[in-house]
Amino acid sequence: MKKTLLILLFLSGLAKLVAAQDFANGNVTSEDLDMKKYAKDTSAHAVVLQEYGSSRINVANDDNIKLMFEYHVKIKIFDNKGFDNATVAIKIRNNDDNSYSDEIENITGTTYYKDENGQIQKVEFDPKKVYKTRDYKYESTSKFTMPGLRKGCIIEYKYKTTSPFFLDRFRSWEFQSDIPKVYSEYETHIPGHYTYNAILRGKLKLTKNKADIERGCFSTHGANSDCSNMVYGMADIPAFVEEDYMTAPKNFISAISFDLVQHINPYTGATVRATTDWKNIDYSLKDEQGFGGQL
């Protein structure tokens, strides 16, 4: 099931910030560590206690426009079968000649547990223990595993990425995964130069969906604009279970994705449409040497 929620346009009206922000880091309670099972899914081997993501189109330190993404999650692990959730794989995209690519920075993490005396202890993640593998020409994976795992522990980690590929790949967000989640929230900041369709798929409904304007959030070489600030939240999310004969599981996971409609080049002011109608598609196919040219 897919539902188009909105089109992010150059908004006008009174400016106010949406009440959304990352949750506090290191806020692990004794009650969290004492939890033996997740009441709403007693068969779960782990549960996401809190999850937050934020994507912002802005000018990076190298003076290029990029998508800046921040991720923060806190996961309770009940038993050994839940340890898989402590291994994190982050996909990295690059272009043909590797002249530019996604970048990952500021990976931090902590594992919390109770010792035999009932005292809360913690093990810090070592950023040096991040391993990168080349998957194929256009993609690599950075992988790391949280330290000090044991039954009943809580892991918490954060990282940031910057990407030059935001036009065709504005970051989507999956509310569901193979373990349940208590709460998941995603926030976007999109300048008025860029228009996207936000598409919600899956059968679960949002419990939070807010929109506001962020004044003067984007500026580059004399081009300025406000941003649409969107917040999407979902509570009490069940684990996604793949069913028999399910053609493409990713089409059924409750998630939100973004399709580019058009953008205004901030340097030239030219409007470039990304979506096309059937007439344009027909012309493009006939004009394409690899297809129409052969006919």
List pLDDT tens digits, range 250-293.
888 999 999 999 999 998 889 998 865 555 556 455 555 555 55
Q: Which helix (H) or strand (E) holds 89?
A: strand 87-93
- Tell how strand 46-59 and strand 181-191 pair up: parallel
- pLDDT band of 17, cuts 50, 70, 90: very low
Positive or negative: CA dihedral 265, 268, 269, 273:
negative
Write out the DSSP string of 206-251: PSEEEEEEEEEEEEETTEEEEEEEEEEEEEEEPPP-PPTT-S-GGG
- Can you give the pLDDT at residue 275? 61
Cβ neighbours of residue 264 closer than 8 Å, sequence gap 6 or more: 193, 194, 270, 271, 272
58-67, 152-161, 189-198, 242-251: range with lowest mean pLDDT? 242-251
Give CA–CA dist 136/214, Å, rounded.
Answer: 39
- CA–CA–CA angle 262, 97, 171 (5° rounding): 35
pLDDT at 71 exceeding the cut of 70? yes
Cite the DSSP H helix spans in the chain: 30-34, 278-287
Fold of 2-287: Immunoglobulin-like (2.60.40)
Give me the amino acid identity at 273. Answer: R
Positive or negative: CA dihedral 164, 53, 267, 199:
positive
Mean pLDDT, residues 61-83 taken together: 96
List pLDDT tens digits, range 28-48.
999 999 999 999 999 999 999
Domain boundaries, the chain: 2-287
- Can you give the pLDDT at residue 101? 87
- pLDDT band of 9, cuts 50, 70, 90: very low
Burial of 32 (0-12, 13-18, 19+ CB in 10 A): middle
Output the pTM of the full model. Answer: 0.86
